[in-house]
Structure 1
């Protein structure tokens, strides 16, 4: 080991010497550097002295620490020897301990006996006075005077303290006979405690009345409960510190505070039960009276709970929060029970609707009541509900939604019954006087209508003013949607009734009677179309702008308008069909025949007869419509007439005009202009008759090399024109063969020409059907 250290020292010296030589060579490499030699020698000698001094100090410090450590080790060695000696002596003494325990066992027994006697002596006065105290407690309880409650509790507490002290001394000892003796001696104490609680429970069952009439009695009862609560906490804390085996008196903890709150909760529930009517048959407005009674005693009770009860209870009891929570939850339970009865169809229609309204009324009632009770206008009942975990509408969200849906369903069913009755009454009036029925007339607009809209207006007015007012605002959207559905359903039923009536009129076997019934039918159809317009206006009046109709309501209103438009189109079609059937018999049969060409020379033409027939119907029937509805009807009639003319022109088997081609074309143009001018007078669209003018151009064309251009122009204006229709039209000329016609049409129906057609042009020939 020493050789290794010497070797390391030699190595250090060699490295230090080499480093010093290299440093000297670098410092004194020039002759001028020798002038600094003497100065550097002095400086290095001084530095060496400093290093030596520091080294000496460090070595001395280390030596002092080593000396101190050696001294401590010597002291520790001497102390260890002393401890070892003491341990040997203690071990020798422990060997004699078992015999010593047996010798002093009698002393231990004597000590325990002395201790019990000391405890008995200390409690002797309580023990001897126990029977007299029990009798005194009984006499005070039998007197029935509430002012003695504090004294009763004091005496009872002294008895319990004596009993518990003696039982504590016997705890853990094998002296069951002594414990049985004590239990027998104090056997009346538990029954006295129960009797005292019964007296207190009677007070707590009418806390609010007692707070008004005798607050001192209530304060006394609460003080006794508070004292018992403190005693419970003392024994529980003792048991917590001592562990599971620690002594705790029988019957503890009594939990009188929890039992007090249970009694008060039961009293609140009993008050709600007492306000419930025995039967809903006692009065038609039993639910409304019941809810008014609830509001009345809620206002009184919560005012007492807020203003009088806090001064009778400790602050930590939060007695007003207890009553607010209790009354609120009892009301929740009551409304939930009534809601279940409503959904189970155990309540009548008016009661279900009223119940939905009362959920909203009670919410606003509690909001107002909170401000009244606290006498603070800025009181926030919503925050109180959230803090206490109460429901804002007294029902769970799903229960409230279910009740609202059920009530809206009942309302819609009732509305549907009224609607059906209205339609049946309307239908009955048609058949009651089949040849003399006259609809009602509006002198301001000079239009006709039936009693349907007035009946619906009365129904909806009653529904919105009476029933809807009992529903909360969030249910109005559902009710509006349900009524809209029923109106659409009503419209379908009414349309079926109109359809059935039209079929019945058409099937009348007697021609003269049928003609009279047709006049009545037309009047009913016109009045029914006007009814649809009045219905749309009526529905619009029941949408309040401030309510902000939802998207669902807007969609359903649009659906109703669409259903009305569809029914209006169908009934207009009945009117147009009746007119066309008349024209079919009198006019359409002779169209595009030689007789038709000669009518310019003979007298009135078919076009003039058509215009005259439409004019008669317009003045006698159609004029009683609203202007925009009349324009819609005239558009349908003009379309139907134009289609009938085109159908007659392209009728299969029609003989070509040949040499009469130019005359037929001129006559066709003349009729088209006459019909167009005639229908233009009635404020309807008449440009569909341009198809007849375009057809006349094809018939009149003399140079067939221009046929492709004329056909292309025809297709641009009427893009739904089919090839078979154009082919039939060109073959009517009589100077073209089928192959020539098809070659002319080949270019017109090419893809290049199809791309040039006007996609927004009106469609007419699609309704004409194929030419066979």
Structure 2
């Protein structure tokens, strides 16, 4: 706005240098044109052109003034910064000049520094000699001490005089110090150095305090060392005092204190002697005189005896700590204080790694814990002399429970008050008891424990240990917490112990089951019938004994863990299956004895029926043994064993029935039978007699026996007909045969129906179907009749049909051939639900025709 076309096309020379400025100007012009075209698009807006011009002019003026102000402030800041840089440059130049002057001054003073270095070495030697002077009264006495002091004083003075380059005033002052020291030493044979309160600390030989634990007073405080007094500058105040005891005298006195059980006093003197020895050794170490250390150690050899004697008394006290805290806690507290003194000395020495005296660190606090643990372990946890049988182990575990709880109460109520808080003695003792019990129980588990002992251990570990009667005792909570210590024995060891327990239980169950089987086998040969229940069913005590035995073991195992219960249950199922196998073998053996003499056992059939009832009782009781009642299924292998047992007992019963039926079946078929004998009636009497015996078993087994008996009778009847004992010679005989078959089959069917077996469950229909084949008057129709017969009974073979055709007596070879060919053309497959009948009937082999010489075969 307000710019001509010429202005728009004017090229600023600076735009070539600053292309961004040109781009910004173009954008601004474009924005202004866009704004103006929008505002003045309508004609009535042109009237306000003057107002817009004045407003934009004011706006531009405001912006320009702000820009000028900002630029001015920036320029002022730059000017101030330049001024500061000039000032800093001048100061740096001055510093460089001062550093140069200092450098030249240092170079001029190099000779003086060498003199100071000699002075420093002289002071170090003076400090060492002064420390030796301090310890001499403890090592020597009388003239020996005076001579030693004179030698040291002369050596000290000679050292100072050799450094003639030092300041004369310093030499004179040191000569005065040495002269004062020499005259002072020669006046007395025993002395003690007393320092002024403001200049010197306590002497080395003052009574040691508990806080004075560092034997390195000279090293621990590297500040100005105390100087002995001189006439001009009194620093030391030499005083004549009674002679101090020598080292060996202190040894004897310390031993006497130990024998009198003055432990704190004895330990104070022991620390003083160790302080003296270690200070001398340290000075030798600094001087590199390691060869002289052996002499010092030999001189202080009595310290080893003192340490051992003190340690022996301390550990004896710690070993009786549970008793002492109740009777005489002062002695125990003294022992703990001594242990803490030594522990602090160890810590101070370990912090200064330049020199470690012999015998350090002692580690008496760790030894304290070790002795305490040995005491706990040795007082209760011995497996060598303990009785590991069930009753003996029960008494031992009860004693452990009682003693551990009582001793933890002593620790919680008394011992905690006798030791520092950082000992955490209750937690430490709890962990010690826990670890000792763990090791002790592992040792016990290495023994060959019986079933009762293993059960007691598992119950004690998993239940008693964490119960309110032991570690969760109200008097111990909440301070005692064994949950953080882990299990008393590992899960793997628990599982291993459970397996051992299962093995022991298995052996016991096997033994009891074998005894039960032997008793059962003897009962089979008794001269009286088996016992009956309230319903009159035969039974014995075998299932009750077996189930009670298994159920009791599973129930007892459930008191420990669910996993043990499951293990015992699996073992029980395996043993029950094996027991059924042995029972089946015993039953077979009994059957063999009965085959030799049918009068033995006298009540063979009733006991077989009792076995069936027992087997049914076991089958119905097994699901109740399962730990999970919601999934109480009989294992497949056990179900198979029960079925095998049932089949074997049924087989023996049917064999017994067969033995009574066979003499009657041998008379079939015959002319006498055709004429109307009472043969089948006799068979019915035998069947009815056995059916009455079968009624002494429960209904499922009774119906099974009834069905199997009916099938046995049917198969024996059909087998007798197919023995080729008779051939119908005429139509009249065939008619008689048909009538007899009808009467016999009807009589037998009605018998079994009356006993409770429905007609559709009977197999006697095969006799009626066979009768139809024989009663057919036209042999030419036999093919169709046989086809229907084999369709209904697909297990009929060619031999069976040939035998039936022979029984008719009127079938020609052509008809026979046609019938057999028809059977070959229509093979039959056995349906899945079909009960075979004819496949169990063997047909005698056909007799070969007898051929005579020079004749034709008939």
Task: Quickly name the TM-score band, shorter chain normalised.
Answer: 0.7 to 0.9
Distance 1:652-1:337 versus aligned 2 partners, 3 A rule: farther
Residue 599 of structure 2 corresponds to which residue in structure 1?
Answer: 519
Residue 72 of structure 1 corresponds to which residue in structure 2?
Answer: 84
The alpha-carbon deviation at position 588 of structure 1 amounts to 2.0
Does residue 1:217 correspond to 2:331, yes or no? yes
What CA distance in whole angstroms lies between the structure 2 residues aligned with 1:498 and 1:438?
Answer: 18
Residue 607 of structure 1 corresponds to which residue in structure 2?
Answer: 680
Aligned 8 A contact 1:357 1:470 in 2: no
Does residue 1:318 correspond to 2:395, yes or no? no
* Matches for 1:130-209 after TM superposition, within 5 Å: 131=247, 134-144=251-261, 148-160=262-274, 172-174=286-288, 176=290, 187-189=301-303, 191-209=305-323
1:304 to 401, 407, 410: 410
Residue 688 of structure 1 corresponds to which residue in structure 2?
Answer: 763
The alpha-carbon deviation at position 112 of structure 1 amounts to 1.1
User: Per-residue CA shift, 1:470-512, capped at 9, x if unaligned?
Assistant: 9954445444543443443343334334434433554x5xxxx
Does residue 1:277 correspond to 2:385, yes or no? yes
Distance 1:180-1:534 versus aligned 2 partners, 3 A rule: same
Residue 69 of structure 2 corresponds to which residue in structure 1?
Answer: 57
Residue 488 of structure 1 corresponds to which residue in structure 2?
Answer: 577
What CA distance in whole angstroms lies between the structure 1 residues aligned with 2:551 and 2:411?
Answer: 40
Distance 1:8-1:255 versus aligned 2 partners, 3 A rule: same
Aligned 8 A contact 1:288 1:354 in 2: yes
Larger radius of gyration: 2
* Matches for 1:89-100 after TM superposition, within 5 Å: 89-93=101-105, 95=107, 99-100=111-112
1:596 to 663, 670, 673: 673
Residue 466 of structure 2 corresponds to which residue in structure 1?
Answer: 367
What CA distance in whole angstroms lies between the structure 2 residues aligned with 1:503 and 1:705?
Answer: 51
The alpha-carbon deviation at position 313 of structure 1 amounts to 3.0
User: Per-residue CA shift, 1:343-401, capped at 9, x if unaligned?
Assistant: xxxx5xxx343233233135433234556874269x699x933311232xxx3333333
Aligned 8 A contact 2:723 2:843 in 1: no
What CA distance in whole angstroms lies between the structure 1 residues aligned with 2:491 and 2:785?
Answer: 71
What CA distance in whole angstroms lies between the structure 2 residues aligned with 1:540 and 1:583?
Answer: 34
Residue 3 of structure 2 corresponds to which residue in structure 1?
Answer: none
1:388 to 459, 462, 485: 485
Distance 1:468-1:39 versus aligned 2 partners, 3 A rule: closer
What CA distance in whole angstroms lies between the structure 1 residues aligned with 2:800 and 2:116?
Answer: 137
Aligned 8 A contact 1:731 1:741 in 2: no
What CA distance in whole angstroms lies between the structure 1 residues aligned with 2:784 and 2:816?
Answer: 18
Distance 1:639-1:324 versus aligned 2 partners, 3 A rule: farther
The alpha-carbon deviation at position 593 of structure 1 amounts to 4.3
What CA distance in whole angstroms lies between the structure 1 residues aligned with 2:699 and 2:18?
Answer: 128
RMSD (Å), alpha carbons:
4.7
The alpha-carbon deviation at position 34 of structure 1 amounts to 5.2
The alpha-carbon deviation at position 572 of structure 1 amounts to 2.9
TM-score by length of 2: 0.70
Residue 404 of structure 1 corresponds to which residue in structure 2?
Answer: 498
What CA distance in whole angstroms lies between the structure 2 residues aligned with 1:539 and 1:593?
Answer: 47
Distance 1:702-1:581 versus aligned 2 partners, 3 A rule: same
The alpha-carbon deviation at position 271 of structure 1 amounts to 1.3
* Matches for 1:297-696 after TM superposition, within 5 Å: 297-342=403-448, 347=449, 351-369=450-468, 374-375=473-474, 384-391=481-488, 395-420=489-514, 423=517, 437-442=527-532, 454=541, 473-474=560-561, 475-506=564-595, 508=596, 517-521=597-601, 523-534=603-614, 537=617, 548=628, 555=634, 559-560=637-638, 562-584=640-662, 586-599=663-676, 603-604=677-678, 606-618=679-691, 629-651=701-723, 655=727, 659=731, 660-684=733-757, 687-696=762-771
Q: Secondary structure at the match of 1:367?
A: coil
What CA distance in whole angstroms lies between the structure 2 residues aligned with 1:634 and 1:195?
Answer: 97
The alpha-carbon deviation at position 749 of structure 1 amounts to 5.7
User: Per-residue CA shift, 1:36-72, capped at 9, x if unaligned?
Assistant: 3433443343233223322322332232233223222
Residue 177 of structure 2 corresponds to which residue in structure 1?
Answer: none
| More helix as a share of residues | 1
Unaligned runs of 5+ in 2: 1-11, 135-192, 194-200, 207-243, 846-858
